[in-house]
Amino acid sequence: MSDVSDRVRKIVVEHLNVEADKVTEKASFIDDLGADSLDQVELVMAFEEEFSVEIPDDAAENIQTFGDAVSFLEKAVN
């Protein structure tokens, strides 16, 4: 379990108020974790803040699952 993945999971759990074990690699924020479109925008903002990166809108649109977020951020941080 990477450090990035832990930090992303923590944000998702806190923001969407879900159990940590529900946040699996393939879990979709909207379909599986109960997020609405505004939550999704907020998650992206929270990721930007946590990792001090800018996530452009077109990239943000492709972050649909927990796995998407982790792989994007792992690349962005390195």
Q: 6, 21, 32, 36: which one is catalytic?
A: 36
Question: Residue 1 or 38: which CB sits closer to other proteins?
Answer: 38
How many C-beta neighbours within 10 Å does residue 77 have?
12
Q: Which of 1, 3, 19, 38 binds other proteins (CB under 8 A)?
A: 38
Enumerate the β-bridge partners of residue 65: 28
Angle between helices 37-51 and 66-77 (to 10 degrees): 30
Instruction: For residue 36, indicate whether it is catalytic.
Output: yes
- Which residues are known to be catalytic? 36
Write out the residues near other proteins by the rule CB under 8 A. 38, 41-42, 45
